[in-house]
Structure 1
Amino acid sequence: MSRTPQQIFQSYIYAGAMTRNPDALAENFTEDGVYEAPLVPAGAAFPRRLVGREEIRDGMAAYYERLPKDDRSPNFEKSGFVLHTTADPDVFIAEIDMVFDSGEGSNEQDTVVSLVQIFRIRDGKIAQVRDYFTPDLVS
């Protein structure tokens, strides 16, 4: 059964940003799937390139473990995204404005992070995602 770009994207976001579940995240990818964050410098804590479902699982699990327990979580009610289909039915683009709450009782304003992700799909799974965001967000 083929999934729509909307279904693929929602499953990917739920597994990654919402629940930080590396097993569920990896299952969104083909066996040879590739995750790339081309703007992240080499040697950063956040993985720049992961190849294969197992490497995606292990790499993201290691990153999630390093996150501070008080790390601010995204507010999905305030956040938004637009999916763009392309002339290639196996490629879609996600434009995302993710909002991170300032936290209870904080005098700080919410933080808005804008990013773009390009998805290449094969057989209803992610064959490649290129994730473009400001690298200092994950340092």
Structure 2
Amino acid sequence: MSSATPADVLDRRRRMTMNGDADGLAELYSLDAVIEMPFAGPDAPRRLEGREAIRAYARRVTTSPMRLDSYDVAELYRTDDPELVIVEMRGTATMTTTGRSFTTTSIQILRIRDGEIVLFRDYANPGILKDLLGETNR
């Protein structure tokens, strides 16, 4: 049983994400972890099951033309369930193909058990990427 707190796990996740360490990031998830992204854009899965699927997706993201400039916990909300946290994340990134940058926030719900993420739900606005890529009609 790990003594890592949810804040510890979130800090490690932030460091791995900022360093582009897809393998280290995947290791933060349990073998049977689930990621759900209900509002995912057309090129992103809405659900990933298992650490290896998470690893493959993380590798794909780290090689994309989106460079992550910052990624921080804006707010961390604890619940009555010690495994469950709600997080407001704020990130800034730059599209290396266009030089355009953006800032976005998302709400994330995580279940962290014994120092591993077992469930991660990300509620982000995929429209911001469409705007950056010029795919929206104005």
Normalising by structure 1, we get a TM-score of 0.78
Q: CA RMSD in A?
A: 2.5
Deviations 1:83-120 (A, max 9, x none): 110010010011122234799xx8x7x63211111000
- Match for residue 125 of structure 2? 134
The reply on whether 1:75 has 2:53 as its aligned counterpart is no
1:116 match? 107
- Tell me, yes or no, if the aligned pair for 2:68 and 2:91 is still in contact at 8 Å: no
Q: Counterparts of 2:57 and 2:73 in 1: how far apart (Å)?
A: 27
Counterpart position of 1:3: 4
SS at match of 1:73: strand
Q: How far apart, CA to CA, are the structure 1 residues paired with 2:84 and 2:69?
A: 26
Equivalent pairs, count: 127
Partners of 1:115 and 1:133 within 8 A in 2: yes
Contact 1:3 1:124 in 2 (8 A): yes
Does residue 1:39 correspond to 2:39, yes or no?
yes
- CA distance in 1 between counterparts of 2:49 and 2:95 reads 34
Structure 1 residues 111 and 138: alpha-carbon distance in aligned structure 2, compared to 1, 3 A threshold: closer
TM-score by length of 2: 0.78
Give aligned-pair identity as a percent. 32
Gaps in structure 2 of 5+ consecutive residues: 131-138
Q: Judging changes above 3 Å, is the alpha-carbon distance between structure 1 residues 134 and 27 closer, same or farther for their aligned structure 2 residues?
A: same
- Please state how far the C-alpha of 1:28 moved relative to its aligned partner: 0.4
The Cα of 1:47 is off from its aligned counterpart by: 2.8
Distance 2:31 2:110 in 1: 15
